[in-house]
Amino acid sequence: MRQVLRRALGALSILVGIALLNFLLLQLAPGDMVDAMVGEAGGATPEYMAELRAKFGLDQPMFVRLARYLGALAQLDLGYSHRKQAEVLSLILDRLPPTLLLMTAALSIALPVGTLLGATQSRRQGSWLDTLLSVIVLSTHALPAFWLGLMAIVFLAADRGWFPTGGMTSFDAPADGWDRALDVLHHLALPALTLANVYIAVYARLMRSALLELKGADFIRTARAKGLSTERVFWVHTVRNALLPMVTMLGMQIASMLSGAVIVESVFGWPGLGRLAFEAVVARDTNLLLGIMFLGSILVTLVNLGVDLLYSVIDPRVLARGAS
Amino acid sequence: MRPAAWIGGVLLALVAALALFGPLVFPRDPWAMDGLPLLWPAEDPAFPLGTDSLGRDLAAGIASGAWVSLLVGVSSAAVSLGIGVTLGTLAGFYRGRCETLMMRVTELFQTVPSFVLAVVIVAMFGASLTTIILSVGVVSWPASARLTRAQVLQVSAREFVLAARALGMNDARLLVRHVLPNALPPVISVGTLAISNAILSAAGLSFLGLGDPQVLDWGGIIHEGREQLLDAWYICALPGLAIMLAVLGFNMLGDVLIDRSQPRLGP
């Protein structure tokens, strides 16, 4: 319990750090909120701008502004998007579910496929199959996600019509029920595969090296010695142990997956956080961008906490080691 | 030499040759609209890779992109390694508060989605080669800082370092003469992978429309070509292949270097 509390406290301090980073960026960037608003309105008198600054508290000393900023973030008040005429928080929460769906789908493709590839490679270490798979994994890893997405649109969606070219639902989609779920799934396929591509490579390489490292381990010799079949020892004993480091990676990869989602969602017009970030970039909406980054970081922190807990359930030694 | 080493080397040589000699082979100004718009590759011998919607030579554009990609990739990796090695060395050598603080900041940077942070920085400070290089470098240093710290910790505990210290060598000399030469090789190898990551990130920024409007780079060509994606997909396809070759080259070379600098122990 104390362990959990300490983790949570650590996570909190990181979020405060990220809030500080946001504030720092806002201070360093040329121009402030009032400049942006006035620029949009097409100009204003210096007196009116000063009045606006006073209204938003921008004329206060830096400490006061920082305290206000942190206070607002602590209440999850991420400010107002003047472009979209809406609270940043509600904009983000609206777009969160599609992104979570996309990331979950990509992970559930990447994890098993990567594991299978890595396992196959490690069993045939040094064979032509190992080399071939290595080359494939290396090459697909080098492909930019946006390029893969665009090519998928050209060759799988537009020409052949196998998949929709973008969005999350069809115009004539049924409102609910199984048909709607199938429609969303149909739209999800290409974005999820595109996002999964990078991680398939990552997991395959991780799995391969983890399995090779376990090859001479004592517990595997024991399992063999007690008469278990090669297949059983490999899939039940070795692979299961090699999965442990992959769970850790999973937590670390949520941040990079959010980054990948920005690109993939912009390619496919998937209406999630990433697409929102893209719209914010096009509209130069700083408030919204910083809000997305902050909420994204909260998401990463929560997932990491979850992974930590999950990890100590899978492998009790972790807790014991952490406490000592 | 492992095959991966020379394949990676050949790929990089290709990209470097494209950057260096491209302007000689395709002497057209990549910005000049002097062809028919949307010529497919090989349709007109004067434009071997075709033209974009404004009639600009795609081959010249890709050659210009090679130069930009290499420049941005290497500079960003240098920024990232510079920050990472400095902080990692201080943390690993002096330990104490310095180390705690660095680990905290590293954790912070590993929590923020790094590409999103790069997007935020470039969007706020304006898109130019400098901001792109700095932003990509600033978001990617934690990995090298962690590795440097671990390496410096390990090397500092070795006997020859203790001996040099016992002889009264000062910290700066100790670091430069004994610790860093032994600690850094794996960091440099991992830095090769940082170059390919930087190339991918910079291409991603340009693809989102955050490229430097003064230069023509691969991500930027794809960003513009997207408008005609369905009619002229080669405009997006070709620069993407170039990105893949460059990234693959640095990745393969980096893998070999990492394998060499960290000899595997045990069976």
Task: Give the angle subtended at the CA of B80 by the CAs of B78 and B81, to the nearest 5°.
Answer: 65
Report how many Cβ contacts below 8 Å link chain A to chain B: 139
User: Which residues in chain A have Cβ-Cβ distances shorter than 8 Å to B240?
Assistant: 143-144, 147, 150-151
Would you state the structure tokens that stand for residue B106, as one six-digit string?
């590293």
Q: Rounding to the nearest 10 degrees, give the CA dihedral for residues A255, A256, A258, A259.
A: 130
A143 at interface of B, judged by CB pairs closer than 8 A:
yes
pLDDT band at A164 (very low <50, low <70, confident <90, very high): confident
- What proportions of chain A, in percent to the nearest 5, are helix, strand and coil? 80, 0, 20
Most confident of A79-88, A149-158, A246-255, B23-32: A149-158
Report how far Cα B172 is from the mean position of its chain's Cα atoms.
30
H/E run at residue A193: helix A177-214
Q: Can you tell me the mean pLDDT for B74-85?
A: 94
Would you state the structure tokens that stand for residue A103, as one six-digit string?
């990331």
Residue B29 scores a pLDDT above 80: no
SS3 A211: helix
A102 at interface of B, judged by CB pairs closer than 8 A:
no
Nearest CA in chain A to B201: A144
User: Which residues in chain A have Cβ-Cβ distances shorter than 8 Å to B248?
Assistant: 138-139, 142
Q: How far apart are CA A224 and CA A221, in angstroms?
A: 5
Exposed, middle or buried: residue A206 (CB in 10 Å: 0-12, 13-18, 19+)? buried
Residue A266 scores a pLDDT above 70: yes
Please report the pLDDT score of residue A323 as a whole number: 41
Comparing CB atoms, the residue among B121, B124, B204 nearest residue A146 is B204
Comparing CB atoms, the residue among A147, A256, A293 nearest residue B222 is A147
Give B57's strand partners.
B51
Please report the pLDDT score of residue B199 as a whole number: 93
Which residue from B234, B209, B246, B214 is spatially nearest to B63, judged by alpha carbons? B246
Convert the pLDDT of each residue in B123-144 to its tens digit.
888 889 999 999 999 999 988 8
A138 at interface of B, judged by CB pairs closer than 8 A:
yes
Nearest CA in chain B to A136: B248
Distances (CA, A) of A172 to A166, A228, B146: 14, 56, 52
Nearest-CA distance A181 → chain B (Å):
28
H/E run at residue A80: strand A80-81
Mutate to test the interface with A, among B105, B114, B117 (most CBs of A within 10 A): B117
- pTM, entire model: 0.86
Q: Can you tell me the mean pLDDT for B213-217?
A: 85
Q: How far apart are CA B30 and CA B211, in angstroms?
A: 16
A292 at interface of B, judged by CB pairs closer than 8 A:
yes
Q: How far apart are CA B152 and CA B141, in angstroms?
A: 16
Residue B147 scores a pLDDT above 80: yes
ipTM for the complex shown: 0.85
Please report the pLDDT score of residue A256 as a whole number: 86
SS3 B33: strand
A277 at interface of B, judged by CB pairs closer than 8 A:
yes
Residue A41 scores a pLDDT above 80: no
- The answer to whether the beta carbons of residues B35 and B57 sit under 8 Å apart is yes
Mutate to test the interface with B, among A7, A252, A259 (most CBs of B within 10 A): A259
Region of A270 please: left (phi>0), alpha (psi -120 to 50) or beta.
beta
Which residue from A179, A148, A296, A154 is spatially nearest to B119, judged by alpha carbons? A296
Please report the pLDDT score of residue B85 as a whole number: 93
**Mean pLDDT score of chain A, rounded to an integer?**
81
A181 at interface of B, judged by CB pairs closer than 8 A:
no
Mutate to test the interface with B, among A256, A273, A278, A281 (most CBs of B within 10 A): A281
- The answer to whether the beta carbons of residues B49 and B58 sit under 8 Å apart is yes
Mutate to test the interface with B, among A7, A132, A138, A156 (most CBs of B within 10 A): A138
Nearest-CA distance B113 → chain A (Å):
4
Q: Can you tell me the mean pLDDT for B144-171?
A: 88
Comparing CB atoms, the residue among A10, A146, A255 nearest residue B112 is A255
H/E run at residue A220: helix A218-225
Place of tokens 């045939």: A124
Please report the pLDDT score of residue B264 as a whole number: 47
Please report the pLDDT score of residue A251 as a whole number: 73
Distances (CA, A) of A242 to A127, A234, A295, A319, B159: 21, 10, 32, 19, 35
